[in-house]
Amino acid sequence: MSEQSIDFEIQARDGEARAGIMTTLRGVIETPVFMPVGTAGTVKGIRFEELESPELDARIILGNTYHLWLRPGIETIRACGGLHKFIGWERAMLTDSGGFQVWSLGALRKITEEGTEFRSHIDGAKCFLSPEISMEVQTALGAEIVMVFDECAPGEASQEEARRSMELTLRWGKRSKEAFDVAQVTKLRALESQGSDTETSAQVANLRYRQALFGIVQGASHLDLRRESLERTVEIGFDGYAMGGLSVGEEKPVMLEVIEEIAPRLPVDKPRYLMGVGTPEDLIEAVARGVDMFDCVLPTRNGRNGQAFTSQGRLNIKNGRYVNDQRPLDEACECSVCRRHSRAFIRHLYQSGEMLASILLTHHNLAFFLDTMRRVRQAIRSGQFAKFRREYTEQLSSGLG
Amino acid sequence: MSEQSIDFEIQARDGEARAGIMTTLRGVIETPVFMPVGTAGTVKGIRFEELESPELDARIILGNTYHLWLRPGIETIRACGGLHKFIGWERAMLTDSGGFQVWSLGALRKITEEGTEFRSHIDGAKCFLSPEISMEVQTALGAEIVMVFDECAPGEASQEEARRSMELTLRWGKRSKEAFDVAQVTKLRALESQGSDTETSAQVANLRYRQALFGIVQGASHLDLRRESLERTVEIGFDGYAMGGLSVGEEKPVMLEVIEEIAPRLPVDKPRYLMGVGTPEDLIEAVARGVDMFDCVLPTRNGRNGQAFTSQGRLNIKNGRYVNDQRPLDEACECSVCRRHSRAFIRHLYQSGEMLASILLTHHNLAFFLDTMRRVRQAIRSGQFAKFRREYTEQLSSGLG
Phi–psi pair at B217, nearest 5 degrees:
-85, 125
| pLDDT tens per residue, range B176-188 | 999 999 999 898 8
Could you tell me if B336 lies within 8 Å of chain A, comparing CB atoms?
yes
- Given pLDDT bands bounded at 50, 70 and 90, which one contains residue B400? confident
Could you tell me if B323 lies within 8 Å of chain A, comparing CB atoms?
yes
- Given pLDDT bands bounded at 50, 70 and 90, which one contains residue B207? low
Name residues 48-87 of chain A within 8 A of B (Cβ): 48-49, 67, 71-72, 76, 79-81, 86-87
- Given pLDDT bands bounded at 50, 70 and 90, which one contains residue B382? very high
B384 pLDDT exceeds 90? yes
Which residues of chain A fall short of a pLDDT of 50? 1
* Min distance B167 CA to chain A CA atoms (Å): 35
User: With an 8 Å Cβ cutoff, are A348 and B48 in contact?
Assistant: no
Phi–psi pair at B3, nearest 5 degrees:
-80, 175
**pTM for the whole thing?**
0.97
| pLDDT tens per residue, range B15-70 | 999 999 999 989 999 999 999 999 999 999 999 999 999 999 999 999 999 999 99
- 3-class secondary structure per residue, A44-68: CCCCHHHHHCCCCCCCEEEEEHHHH
Q: Which residues of B touch A47 (CB under 8 A)?
A: 356, 359-360
ipTM above 0.90, yes or no: yes
Catalytic residue among B282, B292, B295, B371: B295
First-residue to last-residue Cα distance in chain A: 58
Residue B295 designated active-site: yes
A93-107, B220-234, B344-358: which has the minimum mean pLDDT?
A93-107
Name the residue in chain A with its Cα closest to that of B74: A324
What crossing angle do the helices spanning B280-288 and B385-396 adopt, rounded to 10°? 160
Q: Is A199 helix (H, G, I), strand (E, B) or coil?
A: helix
* Min distance A397 CA to chain B CA atoms (Å): 29
* Min distance A245 CA to chain B CA atoms (Å): 27
| pLDDT tens per residue, range B258-276 | 999 999 999 999 999 999 9
pLDDT averaged over every residue in chain B:
94
Could you tell me the CA-to-CA distances from A294 to A24, A62, A143, A378, A379 in Å, in that order? 17, 10, 16, 17, 18
Could you tell me if B359 lies within 8 Å of chain A, comparing CB atoms?
yes
Pairwise CA distance, residues A30 & A28, whole Å: 7
Could you tell me if B123 lies within 8 Å of chain A, comparing CB atoms?
no
**What is the model's pLDDT at position A196?**
66
Write the residue in B323, B356, B360 that is nearest to A76 by C-beta. B323
Annotated catalytic residues of A are 96, 295
- Given pLDDT bands bounded at 50, 70 and 90, which one contains residue B1? very low
Helices within B80-127 (DSSP H only): 83-87, 99-104
B196 pLDDT exceeds 80? no
